[in-house]
Structures are given as structure tokens and as C-alpha cells.
Amino acid sequence: MVSAIITCAGSGERAGFGFNKLLKDIGGITPFEKTVCAFADSGVIDEIIVVCTKQDEEIFRKKCLDRSINAVFVTGSTTRGKSVKNGLEAVSGDIVLIHDGARPFVSRRIICDCVKTATKFGSAITAVPLTDTIGEVKEENGEKVLVSSSRDGKYAVQTPQGFKTELIRKAFSLASDDEVFTDESGVFAKYIGKCHIARGENANKKLTYAEDFSIGGNGRLFVGTGFDLHLLVENRKLILGGVEIPHDKGLLGHSDADVLTHAIMDALLSSASLGDIGRYFPDTDDKYKGISSILLLQNVLDLLNKSGYKPINVSAVIQAQKPKLSKYVDTIRSSLAKNLGLEDSAVGITCTTLEGIGIVGREEGIAVQAYCLTKKED
Ligand code: MG
């Protein structure tokens, strides 16, 4: 039988919310629920023990009840070590995983690997190889100086940390109350023996500071919308998304009149609240006469980039009675994706006729409605 202790008794002061950070909304769910659900849904955990303060117990209990999760509640203490010790008293499994409530992105794979490693070796410390170099710093004459730096053989230690229950209980019983360990691996290593490593993931990060709680990492998402319509006339090329489409008419305009690229550029600028393309490329400026709109798109991306935005995906509907565009859609998508620096799968293009109605229906023009999602790094 496998038990999991979820530690939720911390004050979360560094996040500065004024309430338990595990109750912060992270896109319709709290870190507490996401963490508990990860263990409950893993299929390898038989018992969940939540260690929390008396004050938060009622709300945590309700959240478990709402999600039909059976959990045992244990009152935490002033330090992590004492809280875990309290939790261990309630454990009935012969293997126990101990996990930070503030690591909601723990995957099923991590949980399963941790159980397997702990069952085989008696201990399982989830960890990832460091990508940042760690520097040792000391003070010299009041100034901080780097003594050494290295990342060879260094790992960042995460949770869950799994153990044979009797071994980790023994470790805690041997440790004195005033000994401070940042996590259970320290207690185990000191009193029992070697800790085995289980494979972690960079995504399994601990939510500590307020900025860690923004969805999609450190950045905010913005939606943009753009619309354009150009007249279809004879003796002009028909360019859509930088692709020339064979047709007996083309779009009229100061540039190459690529109505699709224009709508997408406006959507991108709109998402970043940067105005519209008329502001940057006025049709009174000879410089832009006949210019490829794909070149203008590069300028728009530069403008976005300078303001800290980058596109995530683009979606557009081309409204055209004729020509039939379905066989060109993949080429158009690839062209736009390449020029936007996106995967083809991040560009969605649909086409529709307007049933003979209006300017588009009478084949007098082609219109495009475009949307995009952009991300602004904080
Ligand atoms: Mg236009």
C-alpha cells in the first residue's frame, strides 16, 4: 500500500497574497486541488494525507469533498520537519511519498517513478540535472565575490520524495527536534543512508513568489482581432498570406493588397494595443506602393518584439465567393507560419463563401477576420 503526504501547512509568506498561496486561483483551480488531484488520479496512491493548519482545514476538506477525493487531515506544526512527522504518524502504507502542496504540476510519470524507486531501494528523491550553473559566493571586504562555479553532477532536488515508511519514521525518530532540514532527503541521508534519485521534470516547479502563479509561466496572454476587406479587380495579382493564387482578378490596394496578412497584422498589433497598420504603413506613403505585405509583417513582428510580445497562434477566416481556396490553404498556412516564426499547427485558416450575399457574395471583394494570441513576458 502506498500513502502520500501533501504538505500544506506553510504560510507562503514569500508569495505575499495575505492568505495561503495554495488557495490562489491558477486558471479555475487552486494549486492545492491540482496537487491533490494529481495524486488521486495517478492510480498508484492508496491514501492521501493532507498536513495543514487548523485554520485552513475546513476549506481544504471542502475542496477534496467537491472533487470526491478521500483524504485524511492532520494538523501541521511550526516547521516542515515537525509537520511531516505528524503526517507520518497517520500513514498506513508501507511506502510513503512526501510532496509539497506548492508543486501542482507534478506528473503521473513522476509519481509512478517515485513509487517504483522507493519500493526498490527504500528511498526515491525526485530531482533534475541543473541547467543553471551554481556559483559559490562569499564576502570579501564587504563585497560579494564568486569563489567557484560548476554544474557538473549537480541536481535540483524536488518532491515527491518516497521512502519505505519504517525507514523514514526511524530517521525522524533519531533526529532531534531542533535539527533543521529543508526536506526529507536530508533527514534520511543523515540517519539512514544513501538517497536514490528518481527522474523529475523542470515543469514540476515550486510556486513560491507571486510571479510563479501567472498562467503559462512568467508572462501574460493577450488576444488580438483584426479585419480587412479589399476589392477584387482585373489586372491585379491575388496574394493571400504571401501566396499568389491563380485567378482572373486580384485585390486592389496600395501595397500588394494581401488582405489576409493585413488582417493578421492588425490582430497582432491589437493584441499589444499598438494601434493598426494604417498608423505604421500609411497608403499615402509611396514607400509602400506595391510592397509585399509579408515584408510589412516582419516590421509588425519587430514592433511587437520591442514591446515584449510574441505570437502564440493565429487564426483567420477568409471570406471569398471565388476562387475556391481550399486547395491552397495548406500552402498559405505554411507561408504564414514560416513568416510568423510559428509551427504550421499554430496557424489556423478557414475559408467560407457568403452565399452570394453582399460585396463578398457578389465577388466584388475578399474579406478576412483574423484573431491571434500573443504572450507578453513580464
Ligand atoms: Mg488592407
CA 228 to ligand 1 center in whole angstroms: 5
CA distance 188 to 190: 6
User: pLDDT at position 17, please?
Assistant: 83
CA 227 to ligand 1 center in whole angstroms: 8
The verdict on whether omega for the bond into residue 323 sits within 30 degrees of 0, i.e. cis, is: yes
Reported confidence tier of residue 210, pLDDT bands at 50, 70, 90 = confident
User: pLDDT at position 218, please?
Assistant: 57
Reported confidence tier of residue 361, pLDDT bands at 50, 70, 90 = very high
User: pLDDT at position 212, please?
Assistant: 81
Q: Grid coordinates representing 331?
A: 500552402
Reported confidence tier of residue 217, pLDDT bands at 50, 70, 90 = low
- The DSSP result for 284-324, as a single string, is T-GGGTT--HHHHHHHHHHHHHHTTEEEEEEEEEEE-SSS-
Residue whose C-alpha is closest to residue 303's, from 227, 224, 371, 243:
224
CA distance 353 to 364: 12
Mean pLDDT of 159-177: 94
CA distance 63 to 231: 57
CA 316 to ligand 1 center in whole angstroms: 14
**pTM check: above 0.85:** no
pLDDT of 300 > 90? The answer is: yes
Q: Do 99 and 106 form a contact (C-beta atoms < 8 A)?
A: yes
Strand order in the sheet with 347-352: 250-251, 219-233, 365-377, 309-319, 347-352
CA 251 to ligand 1 center in whole angstroms: 10
Mean pLDDT of 24-31: 84
CA 260 to ligand 1 center in whole angstroms: 8
User: pLDDT at position 227, please?
Assistant: 98
Percent of residues, the chain, with pLDDT higher than 70? 98
Please enumerate in sequence order all residues whose Cβ is within 8 A of that of 374, keeping only pairs 6 or more positions apart, or say none.
221, 222, 224, 268, 271, 272, 304, 309, 310, 311, 312
Phi-psi region for residue 348, left (φ > 0), alpha (ψ -120 to 50) or beta? Answer: beta
Mean pLDDT, the chain, as a whole number?
93
Reported confidence tier of residue 183, pLDDT bands at 50, 70, 90 = confident
Dump pLDDT digits (tens) for 120-153.
999 999 999 988 888 889 998 889 998 888 778 8
CA 345 to ligand 1 center in whole angstroms: 25
User: pLDDT at position 378, please?
Assistant: 60
The verdict on whether omega for the bond into residue 160 sits within 30 degrees of 0, i.e. cis, is: yes
pLDDT of 291 > 80? The answer is: yes
Q: Grid coordinates representing 169?
A: 519514521
pLDDT of 309 > 90? The answer is: yes
Reported confidence tier of residue 178, pLDDT bands at 50, 70, 90 = confident
CA 219 to ligand 1 center in whole angstroms: 31
CA 130 to ligand 1 center in whole angstroms: 49
Dump pLDDT digits (tens) for 263-290.
999 999 999 999 999 999 998 989 999 9
Partners of residue 164 on adjacent β-strands: 95
Percent of residues, the chain, with pLDDT higher than 90? 80
